[in-house]
């Protein structure tokens, strides 16, 4: 029996090792679904409730496995819905392949139903973006799409008109130039190492430095040993942008944790005071947290030459895989005897950890959000996979979830979109059914894609959803107050009983309202076999305090309170209690 275009595509994906596709059916991809049905023993389809979740799940799958993530959507609106999750993959450098349907090939541009030119719509998000024209074309397109995504760690897109999906192959379909079986389904990884002269120049800069700091991002996730050896050699603290949170364990004596508004005060001190900075595998975007231009000599390591000097002036750029580059660089470095800069950072970090412990064990009512995440951290396994959503919840995740063992962590680092946390966890649980998978989300982000709780139930995915419920879009509220000097507006949320919703979807539902109950309820929920939602009702007036407050932030904060901010005195009381704990 002749094979259809859809058959040829699915079989080529299987040849490439793809075993999972996230998506939602639609009449624009019925041919592809028939191919999935007839090949279901070799490739599985995970049905989500919204195409945006399919793209997020594929991105999370790629982040946690290092493999290609694949998502599938129908023509028109289905493909449009993928875009946010695909931009998340693009911005965070993840290999994701999006497959979409299109209207009938001879009605494209004729204002027919769902006639959206998705190959034009995806032109910005996808590095490879092609419409399949027939049976002789599809294998070539699949091969190039996958190679592009893997080589450039980005998004590729294939769209196939509805009727072409069912076309069958024949010799007459192929042009004479298109030699049969010429395209190879082989990907050759590249781990370039800079020339010896560049490595020696970098070593000279680092060896001359007396206060060396290391900024280690997601490009170092597979280079833990090398980064730790670098820190020991240069006697310098490791500062971790949030996408690099799992590079080294959070309680390792060589790290000061995160950086930025969600980071730690010791990390800010280290970057402000260093005279030499090594940026490894990071494109941390907030330039105000780097050393002031000209103050610190900088060596930057990145797999992309276009990222060298993008955020901060680089004196030496080393292009290549961070692990490979560091293995070539380390023998050229001199071990520093002066440990004062490192010891100062370690002393500051001890004080910071004590402060976090105090804030995470507060008995106040309403319950503080820190308490929930602090207690959760103690119950996580050493190989847990933790996903966070965007918003104030990212602050609590960044500061209270401590990486240890082989734990993994991610969130929408660059796009900073809401609603990614739950779908990321779907991708993680599908890839690693035997590992503990937890997502920490806010009530605003969960509401956007809360239909995916049903996806957890459908596939019995052992995901625990921790929703911090404060009935407000918290990060936007605090940005309005502290960055703009305006009272909050338009951020209050209609309350939802997420535990009840979970039960109605077929999952377990739990509620935490008092600090003293947090540990016991979390322990019970984590032990539950199968999906569970744990809603924690918390104080909406607890601000995500930055590691260090700038003068401008303080002025804007005061202006907002004077201009009529709701609950101003409650906010003042909360902030004052937080600051008092820092100095007592």
User: What is the per-residue pLDDT for 582?
Assistant: 42
User: What is the per-residue pLDDT for 357?
Assistant: 95
25-34, 104-113, 492-501: segment of lowest average pLDDT: 104-113
Does domain 5-169 bear CATH number 3.40.50.970?
yes
Omega within 30 of 0 (cis) for the link into 97: no
Beta-sheet strand order (sheet of 128-131):
44-47, 20-23, 69-73, 96-102, 155-161, 128-131
Alpha carbon distance 115, 340 (integer Å): 65
Query: Which residue in 112, 115, 83 sits closest to 101, CA to CA?
Result: 115
pLDDT at 547 over 80: no
pLDDT digit string, tens, across residues 193-246: 899 999 999 999 999 999 999 999 999 999 999 999 999 999 999 999 999 999
pLDDT at 583 over 50: no
User: What is the per-residue pLDDT for 558?
Assistant: 54
What is the pLDDT averaged over residues 518-547?
A: 93
Intrachain domains 196-346 and 361-583 with the same fold: yes
In terms of CATH architecture, what is 196-346?
3-Layer(aba) Sandwich (3.40)
Q: Are 108 and 163 in contact (CB under 8 A)?
A: no
Alpha carbon distance 83, 94 (integer Å): 14
pLDDT digit string, tens, across residues 52-88: 999 999 999 999 999 999 999 999 999 999 999 999 9
User: What is the per-residue pLDDT for 545?
Assistant: 73
Q: Are 94 and 62 in contact (CB under 8 A)?
A: yes
pLDDT at 584 over 90: no
pLDDT digit string, tens, across residues 442-500: 999 999 999 999 999 999 999 999 999 999 999 988 888 877 888 889 999 999 999 99
In sequence order, the 6+-apart residues with CB closer than 8 A to the CB of 270 are 213, 237, 239, 256, 345
322-331, 427-436, 560-569: segment of lowest average pLDDT: 560-569
Alpha carbon distance 415, 93 (integer Å): 11
* DSSP line for 460-475: T--EEEEEEE-SB-HH
What is the pLDDT averaged over residues 362-371?
A: 96
Residue 412 CB-half CA count within 13 A: 27
pLDDT digit string, tens, across residues 398-418: 999 999 999 999 999 999 999
Question: pLDDT confidence of 573, banded at 50, 70, 90?
Answer: low
Percentage helix, strand, coil for the chain under 3-state DSSP, each rounded to 5: 45, 15, 40
User: What is the per-residue pLDDT for 187?
Assistant: 74
**Averaged pLDDT of the chain:** 93
User: What is the per-residue pLDDT for 549?
Assistant: 62
pLDDT digit string, tens, across residues 273-289: 999 999 999 999 999 99
Query: Which residue in 252, 196, 261, 198 sits closest to 227, CA to CA?
Result: 252
Q: Are 571 and 564 in contact (CB under 8 A)?
A: no
554 or 72, higher pLDDT: 72
User: What is the per-residue pLDDT for 579?
Assistant: 46
Domain 361-583 sits in CATH at 3.40.50.970
How many beta carbons lie within 10 A of that of residue 506, not counting itself? 14
Over pLDDT 90: what percentage of the chain?
85
Q: Where are the domains of the chain?
A: 5-169, 196-346, 361-583
pLDDT at 157 over 80: yes
Q: Is 420 exposed, middle or buried (0-12, 13-18, 19+ CB in 10 A)?
A: buried
The structure's pTM equals 0.93
Alpha-carbon torsion (178, 168, 17, 142), positive or negative = positive
Over pLDDT 70: what percentage of the chain?
93
């Amino acid at each position: 029996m002749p094979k259809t275009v859809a058959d040829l595509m699915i079989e080529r994906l299987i040849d490439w090792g793809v075993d999972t596709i996230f998506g939602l059916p639609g009449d624009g991809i019925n041919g592809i679904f028939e191919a999935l049905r007839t090949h279901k023993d070799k490739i599985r389809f995970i049905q989500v409730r919204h195409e945006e979740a399919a793209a997020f799940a594929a991105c999370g799958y790629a982040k946690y496995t290092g493999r290609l993530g694949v998502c599938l959507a129908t023509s028109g609106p289905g493909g449009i819905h993928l875009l946010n999750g695909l931009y998340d993959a693009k911005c965070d450098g993840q290999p994701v392949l999006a497959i979409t349907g299109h209207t009938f090939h001879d009605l494209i541009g004729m204002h027919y139903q769902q006639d959206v030119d998705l190959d034009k719509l995806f032109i910005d998000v996808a590095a490879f973006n092609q419409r399949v024209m027939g049976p002789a074309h599809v294998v070539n397109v699949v091969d190039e799409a996958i190679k592009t995504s893997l080589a450039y760690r980005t998004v590729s897109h294939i769209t196939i008109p509805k009727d072409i999906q069912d076309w069958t192959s024949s010799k007459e379909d192929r042009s004479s130039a298109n030699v049969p079986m010429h395209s190879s389904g082989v990907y050759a990884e590249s781990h370039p190492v800079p020339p010896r002269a560049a490595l020696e120049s970098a070593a000279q800069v680092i060896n001359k430095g007396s206060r060396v700091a290391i900024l280690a991002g997601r490009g170092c996730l597979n280079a833990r040993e090398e980064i730790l050896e670098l820190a020991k050699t240069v006697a310098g603290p490791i500062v971790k942008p949030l996408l690099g949170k799992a590079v080294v364990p959070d309680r390792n004596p060589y790290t000061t944790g995160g950086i930025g508004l969600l980071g730690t005060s010791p990390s800010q001190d280290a970057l402000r005071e260093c005279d030499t900075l090594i940026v490894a595998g990071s494109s941390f975007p907030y330039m105000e947290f780097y050393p002031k231009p000209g103050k610190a000599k900088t060596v930057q390591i990145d797999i992309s030459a276009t990222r060298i000097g993008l955020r901060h002036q680089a004196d030496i750029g080393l292009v290549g895989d961070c692990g490979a580059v560091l293995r070539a660089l380390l023998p050229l470095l001199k071990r520093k005897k002066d440990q004062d800069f490192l010891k100062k950072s370690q002393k500051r970090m001890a004080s910071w950890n004590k402060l976090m412990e105090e804030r995470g064990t507060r008995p106040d009512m309403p319950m503080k959000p820190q308490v929930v995440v602090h207690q959760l951290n103690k119950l996580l396994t050493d190989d847990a996979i933790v996903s966070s959503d965007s918003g104030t919840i990212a602050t609590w995740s960044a500061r209270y979830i401590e990486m240890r063992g082989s734990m993994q962590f991610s969130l929408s680092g660059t796009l900073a979109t809401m609603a990614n946390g739950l779908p990321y966890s779907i991708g993680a649980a599908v890839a690693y059914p035997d590992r503990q998978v937890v997502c920490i989300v806010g009530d605003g982000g969960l509401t956007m894609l809360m239909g995916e709780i049903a996806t957890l139930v459908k596939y019995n995915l052992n995901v625990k959803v921790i929703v911090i419920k404060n009935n407000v879009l918290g990060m936007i509220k605090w940005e309005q107050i502290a960055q703009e000097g305006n009272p909050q507006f338009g951020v209050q949320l209609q309350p939802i009983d997420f535990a009840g919703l979970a039960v109605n979807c077929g999952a377990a539902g739990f509620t935490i309202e008092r600090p003293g109950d947090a540990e016991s309820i979390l322990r019970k929920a984590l032990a539950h076999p199968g999906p569970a939602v744990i809603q924690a009702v918390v104080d909406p007036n607890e601000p995500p305090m930055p590691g260090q407050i700038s003068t401008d932030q303080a002025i804007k904060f005061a202006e907002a309170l004077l201009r009529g901010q709701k609950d101003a005195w409650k906010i003042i009381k909360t902030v004052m209690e937080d600051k008092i704990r820092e100095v007592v």
